[in-house]
Each structure stands twice: as structure tokens, then as C-alpha cells.
Amino acid sequence: MTDNCQRLEARVHTPLLQGSNLVTFAVTDKIILAGQPEPEDWVRLAQQGFSLVVNVRSDPQRAAAQADKAHAEGLAYQHLTVPAYELETAHIQAFRDALAAAAEGKVLVHCRTASRVALMWMLHRMVNDGWNQQQAEAELQQAGYSDDDMDVFRYCTEDFLERASMTDLILS
């Protein structure tokens, strides 16, 4: 089996939320990046050891409805509105703070397709954890993200770093 096939298998055939079709990628034992949960997934999340859900989608009405469902199942819930078109260092630091709200148990971090959260996780590793880009990319690939996905993350990371560097120049 090739590396690509192994990655595909990890993405398609290893549901991290049992009984669900939710798109999921485990970047650590505790942090699961995901697409949009279905209404029936909230009870599964609670039953399968999750303690916190972080939503980075922009829609506040959807987030409010989700928060109610999460709280009804005993899950903590964080809605983090960030501009995906123009991420800045402060957004990545807020992302770190949202993750820090986790108690014992796993954390589900979701957007619509699990792409935006992967970019944020990659930038989190680089900005907050001091990883280099190669290490951050390797972690996402290990979790099952495809080469096409990685092209997106590289492009957006380059855009982020260009603007961060310009900000540093302005502030210095």
C-alpha cells in the first residue's frame, strides 16, 4: 500500500466519532479537527469522551444553536469568529486560548470541511508552539490531509507570514 493510499484510508475508513459520518482528523490524542457536526453527533461526542467543541465558522446563529446542543450534552463550547480571508497573529493566539479552555477529555475543533481548522492548527503550531513549517505540515499529513489540502495550507500560510512580517516591520 502506498503512502497516499494509507492516508486516504485514514481519512475515509477510520471514523474517529463512532456511528457518524463526520469528517475527522486526529492531530493529537486529544485534538480532533473536523467538518460540520450533524445534529445527532452532539450526543455521540459527549458519549465518546469529548469535553469541548470549538467552532470557527462565522455564522453566529448557527453557533448559538450549536452551543445549546453542546451544553445540553454537558459539553463546553467555544465560538471563535476569525476572518479566514485574513488571519493574523492575534487570531492564532485566540485559537490557543480557546483550546486552553479544555478540561479533561478530547477537543473537537470544527469548521465546515475541516480545512480552515487545519490551517489554523498549522499556524498555531508555528506561532504558539514554535514549530517550523515542515514539522507543522508533517503533522497534518500524518493525520490524513491530502497533498491537495497541503497545497492550500502552504499558500495560505505564505500569505499569513507575508502579512505578519509586514506588521512586524511596521511595529518595529
Partner 1 sequence: MSVTFDELLDVKGAKCPMPLVKSRKAVNNLGVGQVLKVVATDRGSVADFQGWAKTAKNIELVAQEEGADNGDTVYVHYLRRTK
In this chain, which of 27, 45, 92, 119 binds partner 1, going by CB under 8 A? 119
Q: Which is nearer to partner 1, 2 or 61 (CB)?
A: 61
Is 149 buried (19+), middle (13-18) or exposed (0-12) by CB count in 10 A? buried
Q: How far is the CB of 25 from partner 1 (least distance, A)?
A: 14
- Residue 137 binds to partner 1 (criterion: CB under 8 A): no
Which residue stretch of 3-11, 41-49, 123-131, 153-161 sits at the interface with partner 1 (rule: CB under 8 A)? Answer: 153-161
For residues 30 to 69, the per-residue mask of contacts with partner 1, x marking binding by CB under 8 A and - elsewhere, is: ----------------------------xx----------
Phi, then psi, of 25 in degrees rounded to 5: -140, 120
Residue in this structure with the C-alpha cell 457536526, named with its chain if needed: 37
DSSP bridge partners of 55: 79, 110
- Residue 159 binds to partner 1 (criterion: CB under 8 A): yes
Listed residue (21, 22, 170, 40) closest to 109, CA to CA:
22
CB atoms < 10 A from the CB of 25, how many?
Answer: 25
Listed residue (20, 36, 44, 172) closest to 106, CA to CA:
44
In this chain, which of 2, 83, 100, 172 binds partner 1, going by CB under 8 A? 83
Listed residue (95, 71, 70, 65) closest to 82, CA to CA:
95
Which residue stretch of 12-20, 77-85, 88-96, 126-134 sits at the interface with partner 1 (rule: CB under 8 A)? Answer: 77-85
- Residue 78 binds to partner 1 (criterion: CB under 8 A): no
In this chain, which of 39, 61, 85, 103 binds partner 1, going by CB under 8 A? 85
Q: How far is the CB of 45 from partner 1 (least distance, A)?
A: 22
Do the beta carbons of residue 32 and residue 16 sit within 8 Å? yes
The residue ranges that bind partner 1 (CB under 8 A) are 58-59, 81, 83-86, 111-113, 115-116, 119, 148-149, 152, 155-156, 159
